Structure 1
Amino acid sequence: MATYVLVHGGGHGGWCYRKVARLLRDAGHEVFAPTLSGLADRSHLSLSDIGLDTHIQDVASLLHYEDLREVILVGHSYGGMVITGAADRAIDRVGRLVYLDAANPVNGQSLVDVAGPIIEATRPFGETVDGTELVLLPHPDAGMFYGVTDPADLTWMAERLTSHPWRCFEEKLDLRDEQAVAALPQFHIVCTSTLATRDPELVDGARKAGRLWDIDTGHDLMITEPEAVTDILLRVAAA
């Protein structure tokens, strides 16, 4: 039995992994899909002090308090920033990292550094509430921004997406042991459409090592292609 911890991206919550989590559990594995502070079912928390490091601590604390070991830590989109930092904070509890159409940061980078044009494009459509700058504001068709087209999925998402503090996207990753994190086996599941925008050296190396898969779908591939994502996650556990 493998243990998966599934970390969501900006504006989402643990809810976005519902289909994948069910399939992994049906296959006999243990699955955690936490919601990061200030989002979804934790949106009642104050957003004023929430940044990338808060979310890193959310996940590192989960690993500690649930006493999880050899975890397959999966991060989607902005979640790639989070799992990289969480692995650094709890290196003895993480067995493998999976970047799910995610940011692949190095020490000292922010999400703006990694995916500037895409994430900066959301900023003009944000708002400031009680002194906190928020982006990815929810609206009825917000799911389309993430490449989702199914009407039922769009309705489901519209009822759950929440605003995200901009601070999380400009706060830089601060690793304590960069070499230890780099030594962890890293796997990549990406959307076919994003391959051309990624570091060619990283893509080539991961593909040669049998650690890269691409799925021809939208950015929220855990929602649009849950069976395909689950199949690959099971391969990661067996690798």
Structure 2
Amino acid sequence: MERGYTFVLVHGAWHYGDLWAPVAESLRIAGHEVHTPTVAGHAYNAQPGERDVGHADGVASIVEYIRRNELKNIVLVAHSFGGSIISRVAEEVPELIRRLVYWNAFVLKDGESVADVSPPTYNLMMDAIAEERGDNCVVLPYQVWRDSFIGDADEATARHTYGLLCPEPYRMLTDKVPLKSFDKLQIPKTYLNAQADVAMPPGQYAWFPRFAERLFPCRVVHMSGSHQVMFSNPAGLAEKIIQAGRD
């Protein structure tokens, strides 16, 4: 891949832009420009009222970031929930995007929410957490994080990174997402699949090939690692993002 690509990395649920730092550093060392915006409502120190946002607010925040920084010809990369964001961003600014990369990310159809394509057990768990908290945010129980999200890391890394997470505005996961023109866009797409990722459980809800099929025709890139390989092997993830994003 030639040097000088512009990557915009969009984080997943419970994350914010700064958590991409080790991956972004590796991409910059390789000669690329990297941006790591934070989706509206996800700032680590956000006040409770600042998390009272919906999916459309999240999309608008990324579109605004791209326009404010006068970015163009970008490789727009998303992790997990972020996939639902970049599909809508692509509808808003298709002329600014060189390629879309979905790393173990949700690829929604028109009118779906992230919750609609998640296992019912997850939704029941999240509903209960949101009701108990009373602020319409959800947090992952540690054991779910440890076993399903970051099983390839040691205990110290799992504990440390769990402490970095922020509450997730629940509407980001439950809002229905309108995608009226996505299927007609001529933007090249890649699905990057971490093969040990069981944040979506094996079977009918597995990330791959379920969501890659929705992008067909697309490039597919595989790597080892969990849903949080950005923490367990950031340099390896950066290498695969470069492979996924090349022309």
Which range, TM-score by smaller chain? Answer: 0.7 to 0.9
- Written as runs of structure 1 = structure 2, the 5 A alignment for 1:143-182 is 143-144=145-146, 145-148=148-151, 149-181=153-185
Residues 5-39 of structure 1, C-alpha deviation per residue, up to 9 Å, x if partnerless?
11111111112211110000111111111112222
Q: Which residue of 2 aligns with 1:35?
A: 38
Residues 118-166 of structure 1, C-alpha deviation per residue, up to 9 Å, x if partnerless?
6415415513489532212575x66414224323422432332111121
Q: What runs of 5+ residues in structure 2 fail to find an aligned partner?
A: none
Distance in 2 of aligned mates of 1:107 and 1:230: 30
Query: 3-state SS of the aligned residue for 1:41?
Result: coil
Distance in 2 of aligned mates of 1:25 and 1:121: 41
Tell me if structure 1 keeps the 8 A contact 2:71–2:96: yes
* 184-193 or 115-124, which deviates more: 115-124
Distance in 2 of aligned mates of 1:199 and 1:101: 8
* 195-204 or 31-40, which deviates more: 195-204
Using the aligned pairs only, state the percent identity: 25
* 120-129 or 195-204, which deviates more: 195-204
Aligned residues: 236
Structure 1 moving runs of 4+ over 6 Å: 204-208
- Written as runs of structure 1 = structure 2, the 5 A alignment for 1:74-223 is 74-117=77-120, 119-128=122-131, 132-137=135-140, 143-144=145-146, 145-148=148-151, 149-181=153-185, 183-193=186-196, 197-198=206-207, 200=209, 203=212, 211-223=219-231
Q: Which residue of 2 aligns with 1:50?
A: 53
Query: 3-state SS of the aligned residue for 1:5?
Result: strand
Tell me if structure 1 keeps the 8 A contact 2:13–2:82: yes
* 98-107 or 38-47, which deviates more: 38-47
* 79-88 or 36-45, which deviates more: 36-45
Distance in 1 of aligned mates of 2:113 and 2:69: 28
Q: What TM-score, normalized to structure 2?
A: 0.83
Distance in 2 of aligned mates of 1:238 and 1:176: 27
Offset of residue 204 of structure 1: 6.5
Distance in 2 of aligned mates of 1:201 and 1:45: 35
User: 1:234 is matched by which residue type in structure 2?
Assistant: I
Tell me if structure 2 keeps the 8 A contact 1:134–1:166: yes
**2:14 maps to 1:11:** yes
Q: What runs of 5+ residues in structure 1 fail to find an aligned partner?
A: none
User: 2:12 is matched by which residue type in structure 1?
Assistant: G
> Kindly tell me: are residues 91 and 147 of structure 1, through their superposed partners in 2, closer, same or farther at Cα, counting changes over 3 Å?
same
Query: 3-state SS of the aligned residue for 1:68?
Result: coil
> Kindly tell me: are residues 212 and 135 of structure 1, through their superposed partners in 2, closer, same or farther at Cα, counting changes over 3 Å?
same
Distance in 2 of aligned mates of 1:166 and 1:205: 25
Residues 92-137 of structure 1, C-alpha deviation per residue, up to 9 Å, x if partnerless?
1111111111111122111012224364154155134895322125
User: 2:31 is matched by which residue type in structure 1?
Assistant: G
User: 2:181 is matched by which residue type in structure 1?
Assistant: D
Offset of residue 185 of structure 1: 0.8
